[in-house]
Amino acid sequence: MSGGAPGARTPVPGIPDVYAVVYEHGASGDLAAGDFALGEWTPSWTPAEHAAAVSSVREAIGRGDVYQVNVVGHTSAPYTGSPLAALHRVAALPGARYGGVLTGPGWALATASPETLVEVRGGRVITRPIKGTRPATAEGRRELLASVKERSEHVMIVDLSRNDLSRLPGVGPVTVDELFAVRRWSHLWQAESVVSAPVTGPLGLPDLLRALVPGGSVTGAPKRAALAEIARLEPVGRGVSMAAVGWVGPGHVDLGLTIRTVAADGERLHAWAGGGIVWDSDPGAEVAEAAAKLAPIKAALAGR
């Protein structure tokens, strides 16, 4: 984000920050071929360090520096052979609105993201922020719908999304078309809202990216202050995670936020997960939530 604090260096420097595929199909990159074997996962911070970062955000909230900060952890594992079949299993996870694999020279990216960063279709610009997670059980759904903490956290991000859209040139009044709707992704319930505005004048891709990147649901509020906390706390950069992937065509843009995403370089697989921290967040529960988000990804990669 222009004016935002730069974060830590990406753990996957071989993947470019911006990559475009123009009318190309069936690209496979040049990752090593052979039987796939996955090693042990090594996190970039311990559960205790993750919990300490959550507590640090709560202190920043208590000082009035921020209202909410999304704290994200990273883990990686060595592999041998070709990871492409495993990455396609990730992309096929149920509930993925943006499921696919992108490859380049010596790297690959798989996403099973359910979250729309921005879509322009039918004369409207739309964003669908997701915030709030529970296990996909009947009890988990009831807990999510009844949680004051999850709802207040979610509404903060909806307000941030409304503000982001209102900054765009060439759009009319911003509306919240759906608030705190519960959707399923793999083995989790998630709360999603739909925020949109009519396109009333010239609106270019640079305008969309300046207004909405990085997404509010993976940063926090106020966004620049949240980015400063993220840069201070997270041990490694997010790289291609929490960014955007999708397509751009005449009169139609559809970009998904790259949550639930795995990156492969020539030696290791990389994955990220986290959650939004507010004043009444429990550090242990936040660490457990990040692990729950990673569990389907790890299981798919392992072929379980």
| Overall average pLDDT of the 246-261 stretch | 92
**What confidence tens digit (pLDDT) does each residue in 67-114 have?**
999 999 999 999 999 999 999 999 999 999 999 999 999 999 999 999
| Overall average pLDDT of the 248-252 stretch | 87
Which listed residue (119, 131, 229, 298) is catalytic? 131
User: In the prediction, which pLDDT does 6 show?
Assistant: 79
User: In the prediction, which pLDDT does 5 show?
Assistant: 78
The answer to whether residues 8 and 258 touch, using CB atoms and an 8 Å cutoff, is: no
* CB-based burial, 157-190: b 16+ in 10 Å, e otherwise: bbbbbbbbbeebeebeebeeeeebeebebbbbbb
Whether 289 is a known active-site residue: answer no
Nearest to 219 by CA among 211, 228, 208, 210: 228
- Would the pLDDT of 28 be above 70? no
Domains of the chain: 37-302 (3.60.120.10)
**What confidence tens digit (pLDDT) does each residue in 147-206 have?**
999 999 999 999 999 999 999 999 999 999 999 999 999 999 999 999 999 999 999 999
Whether 131 is a known active-site residue: answer yes
- Would the pLDDT of 27 be above 90? no
| Overall average pLDDT of the 234-244 stretch | 92
94 is written with which tokens? 């149920």
Which listed residue (24, 40, 59, 115) is catalytic? 115
Residue 12 to residue 125: CA distance in whole angstroms: 32
- Would the pLDDT of 17 be above 90? no
User: In the prediction, which pLDDT does 25 show?
Assistant: 46
